[in-house]
Amino acid sequence: MRLSRLQESAVFVCVTLLVSWGIGALWLQDESRYLLLRVLMCVPGVVGLACAWLFRRETPAAAGFAFTRPIHWGVAMGIPLLYAVVLVAIAYALRPLLGADFIHYTPEAVQRGMDWLGQHTGPAALGVMLVILLWVSAPWLLVALAVRFHWVRRAGEALPAPVSGLKWGVAGLLAALFVPFGLPGELGEEVGWRGYLVRRWEDRPLVALGILSVVWPAFHLPIIFSSTQRGHVAQNITFLLAIAAAAGLFQAVYLWTRSVWPCAVLHLAWNLVNPTVLGSVYSGRPGLFSGSVWVFNGEGLLGAVVMGAVTLGLVWRWRARSSFPGAEAPAMTER
């Protein structure tokens, strides 16, 4: 099936949003079914891989599943922590104007734990959260290394010809590593949004950003109709604007690394760090810092402003590059 990349993108977006909204509607009927949210997060990846094969006969490897460099993973893990520190600093700078209740330190409000680490409160809970980040992303690292160093192919070459098919047992073992952690929702999103959509437009990053800054917030629409966010108009608007602004950062990470793994690690780290430090705009629960959470949160008003400034800087950079012929070699021609 031969379609232009604009048509391919339109099919991907429409199918992804329709399926995810349908799952979101089921979740809204019973918000205790958290598994449905994880399924919803996997939709972009499934649809993206299907579209890549249907339209261009691309294998999943085209999305970028090989290990890149340690610095890519380290930066992806560190960005959310840096972002949280910046937002806390800005919030405290505004505190004399907005009052002591705007933001205050509440370490007793946060508790994180694992079976073999026990329960911890306050700053120690942040340390546990970092351990969880490393623990959950460890299988991702193994799969990335397996792709980078061709473990499955090498296993087939090492086995006698009659049983070379057993090489797929290596792939099965790697897939089994994901089972204890449930559905990898963050990875599912990144395979679709960055590994498919941004990759389609990597030679025209402003077009990719224009699409994603609308589509990614739209993907999150079921959240604003949840029981904890329904009716909070200003909060929901800033929440969607913060997501739109964040599209630029995630796109930049993918274009820098050409891999979905750092993007997925960034996504996972963000989902762990932001609520632990700055509270949750979803449930209203406080983090290490409490107060006007929906204002100073990374998915709130200050988050939208700071991330918007980052995205504007990226737009300026991408526009500057595109003004010089040959500055960016097209990764894909129009079909």
3-state secondary structure the chain: CCCCHHHHHHHHHHHHHHHHHHHHHHHHHCCCCHHHHHHHHHHHHHHHHHHHHHHHCCCHHHHCCCCCCHHHHHHHHHHHHHHHHHHHHHHHHHHHHHCCCCEEECHHHCEEEECCCEEEECHHHHHHHHHHHHHHHHHHHHHHHHHHCCHHHHHHHHCCHHHHHHHHHHHHHHHHCCHHHCCCHHHHHHHHHHHHHHHHCCCCHHHHHHHHHHHHHHHCHHHHCCCCCCCCHHHHHHHHHHHHHHHHHHHHHHHHHCCHHHHHHHHHHHHHHHHHHHCCCCCCCCCCEEECHHHHCCCCHHHHHHHHHHHHHHHHHHHHHHCCCCCCCCCCCCC
What is the pLDDT, as a whole number, of residue 327?
52
What is the pLDDT, as a whole number, of residue 329?
45
Q: Please state, in angstroms and rounded to a whole number, the distance separating the CA atoms of residues 271 and 291.
A: 20
Under 8 Å between Cβ of 164 and 156: yes
Under 8 Å between Cβ of 258 and 68: yes
Amino acid identity, position 31: E
Main-chain dihedrals φ then ψ at residue 289, nearest 5 degrees: -125, 135
Candidates 251, 252, 253, 246; CA nearest to 297 is: 246
What is the pLDDT, as a whole number, of residue 334?
42
For β-strands 118-121 and 103-105, DSSP reports them as unpaired
Please name the residue that has the structure tokens 């209203």.
Answer: 284
Contacts of 154 (CB under 8 A, 6+ apart): none
Please give the distance of CA 181 from its chain centroid, rounded to a whole number.
Answer: 16
What is the pLDDT, as a whole number, of residue 325?
54
Amino acid identity, position 228: T
112 pairs with which residues across the strands? 120
The packing angle between helices 70-98 and 301-322, to 10°, is 130
Instruction: Break the chain into its structural domains and give their ranges.
Output: 5-322
Q: Please state, in angstroms and rounded to a whole number, the distance separating the CA atoms of residues 113 and 125.
A: 7
Q: Please state, in angstroms and rounded to a whole number, the distance separating the CA atoms of residues 17 and 221.
A: 10
Residues of the chain with pLDDT under 50: 328-335
